[in-house]
């Protein structure tokens, strides 16, 4: 006798938009996100940029990763970190020495034998892929290796994006949750504060800070964070207003749980989904802001090489096309990647788009 009872089974490619019996909500969102091929590629590119930023000193450096000099073993890249923390001292003869000029017993250098801030004064404006040159993507007007600058510049861009949006997310989530859950005069006060900060032009505010305190990446990240929290706060406020009247929140109140415990343990975990999308777009905006300021010569100190500062140098050397193309392409890829990740998260979290 044939059994006519039907059960919902997932298709081989996970095509249906329903939770599987053993699947958590996070696993479901990951499965939905993976369906967006462009967002998935953008996420892999972001992972790659993280790798480059973390291991920049091992990828582009004028010091060997490991070497033997006069019978002694050294790991200069690692020992530089230890020296900066006061945990190591080089022998006197190796202080302020040009490591590339030493005669080693053996040595292992990074793939790019130049530091981001290193200068090869004898080779300015070297064209990319020139035969006999170690500057694979060329050099700028003072001899900075372009590839080394792009590798070390990834640290600046990722730091600005993530640190500034961490500041913005902390402020926006805290104030938005308080406004939405407590209501009353707290909601009115925070709403007016949001409207006040919405009128602050971030770019001109950073320029003002630079005029008073000089170019400093820390001040830039703080200003971007302090002016970028308003959209997150409004999103959180709207979600909390929706959630606070649900049954499980009413039950938590009736049991007598403290207000802040209810907010942090019950309300926020169910209200953060739209914020993830906003943060992804915010990181892209922060990277673009840093690049714009560095292009104008206002972002970081002159001795720090960033994607924007390389672009700035191309303004006075229009014939050096590589100084505009390569850093501009990296900025473009980074901004587009975070926007695509934001789109993918929005689609994965939106119940109306479940398939």
pLDDT of residue 292: 83
pLDDT in tens, 61-89: 989 999 999 889 999 999 888 888 888 88
CB-count burial class (<10 Å; 0-12, 13-18, 19+) for 140? buried
pLDDT of residue 352: 53
Tell me the pLDDT band of 43, cut-offs 50, 70 and 90. Answer: very high
pTM of structure:
0.80
pLDDT at 197: 87
- pLDDT range class, residue 39, cuts 50, 70, 90: very high
Cα(247)–Cα(82) distance, rounded to whole angstroms?
55
Compute the distance between CA of residue 183 and CA of residue 160 in angstroms, rounded to an integer: 33
Packed helices 217-227 and 273-295: angle between N→C axes, nearest 10 degrees:
140
pLDDT (0 to 100) of residue 14: 43
Q: Do 282 and 168 contact (CB within 8 A), yes or no?
A: yes
Start-to-end CA span in the chain (Å): 34
3-state secondary structure the chain: CCCCCCCCCCCCCCCCCCCCCCCCHHHHHHHHHHCCHHHHHHHHHHHHHHHHHHCHHHHECCCCCEEEECCEEECHHHHHHHHHCCCCCCCHHHCCCCHHHCCCCEEECCCECCCCCCECCCCCCCCCCCCCCCCCCCECCCCEEHHHHHHHHHHHHHHHHHHHHHHHHHHHHHHHHHHHHHCHHHHHHHHHHHHHHHCCCHHHHHHHHHHHHCCCHHHHHHHHHHHCCHHHHHHHHHHHHHHCCCHHHHHHHHHCCCHHHHHHHHHHHHCCHHHHHHHHHHHHHHHHHHHHHHHCCCCCCCCCCCHHHHHHHHCCCCCCCHHHHHHHHHHHHHHHHHHHHHHHHHHHHCHHHCC
CB within 8 A of 163, min separation 6: which ones? 221, 225
Nearest alpha-carbon partner for 125 in 327, 328, 318: 318
> All domains of the chain, ordered by start, with CATH?
63-109 (no CATH), 147-353 (1.10.3720.10)
Distance CA 239, CA 110 (A): 49
Residue 23: pLDDT above 80? Answer: no
The CA distance from 109 to 113, in Å, is: 7
pLDDT, average across residues 104-126: 87
Segment 143-168 mean pLDDT:
90
CB within 8 Å of 227: residues ≥ 6 apart = 197, 200, 202, 205
| Predicted confidence (pLDDT) at residue 21 exceeds the cutoff of 90 | no
Q: What is the mean pLDDT of the chain?
A: 83
Mean pLDDT of 15-36: 71
Q: What percent of the chain has pLDDT over 90?
A: 25
Q: For 182-207, what is the mean pLDDT?
A: 86
pLDDT at 249 over 80: no
State the pLDDT confidence band at 19, using cuts at 50, 70 and 90: low
Residue 256 has pLDDT above 90, yes or no: no
- The neighbouring-strand residues paired with 108 are 66
More confidently predicted of 208 and 337: 337
Q: What is the per-residue pLDDT for 314?
A: 83
Q: Quick one: 74 exposed, middle or buried, by C-beta within 10 A (0-12, 13-18, 19+)?
A: buried
């Amino acid at each position: 006798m044939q059994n006519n009872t039907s059960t919902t089974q997932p298709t081989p490619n996970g095509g249906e938009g329903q939770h599987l019996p053993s699947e958590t909500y996070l696993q479901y969102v990951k499965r939905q996100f993976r369906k967006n091929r462009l967002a998935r590629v953008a996420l892999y590119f972001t992972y790659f940029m993280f790798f480059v930023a973390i291991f920049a000193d091992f990828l582009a450096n004028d010091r060997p990763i490991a070497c033997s000099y006069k019978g002694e073993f050294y790991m200069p890249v690692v020992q530089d970190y230890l020296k900066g923390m006061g945990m190591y001292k080089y022998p006197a003869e190796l202080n302020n020495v040009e490591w590339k000029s030493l005669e080693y017993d053996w040595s292992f250098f990074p793939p790019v034998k130049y530091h981001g801030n290193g200068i090869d004064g004898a080779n300015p404006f070297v064209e990319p892929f020139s035969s006999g040159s170690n500057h694979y993507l060329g050099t700028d007007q003072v001899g900075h290796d372009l590839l080394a600058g792009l590798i070390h510049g990834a640290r600046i861009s990722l730091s600005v994006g993530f640190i500034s949006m961490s500041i913005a997310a902390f402020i926006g989530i805290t104030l938005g949750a308080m406004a939405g859950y407590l209501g009353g005069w707290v909601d009115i006060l925070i709403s007016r504060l949001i409207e006040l900060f919405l009128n602050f032009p971030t770019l001109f505010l950073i320029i003002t800070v630079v005029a008073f305190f000089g170019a400093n990446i820390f001040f830039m990240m703080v200003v971007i964070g302090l002016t970028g929290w308003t959209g997150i706060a409004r999103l959180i406020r709207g979600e909390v207003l929706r959630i606070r009247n649900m049954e499980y929140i009413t039950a938590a109140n009736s049991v007598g749980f403290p207000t802040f415990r209810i907010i942090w343990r019950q309300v926020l975990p169910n209200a953060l989904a739209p914020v993830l999308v906003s943060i992804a777009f915010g990181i892209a905006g922060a990277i673009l802001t840093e690049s714009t300021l560095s292009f104008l010569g206002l972002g970081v100190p002159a001795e720090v090489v960033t994607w924007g500062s390389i672009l700035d140098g191309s303004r006075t050397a229009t014939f050096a096309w590589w100084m505009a193309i390569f850093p501009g392409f990296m900025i473009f890829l980074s901004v587009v990647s975070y926007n695509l990740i934001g789109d993918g998260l929005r689609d994965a979290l939106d119940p109306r788009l479940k398939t």
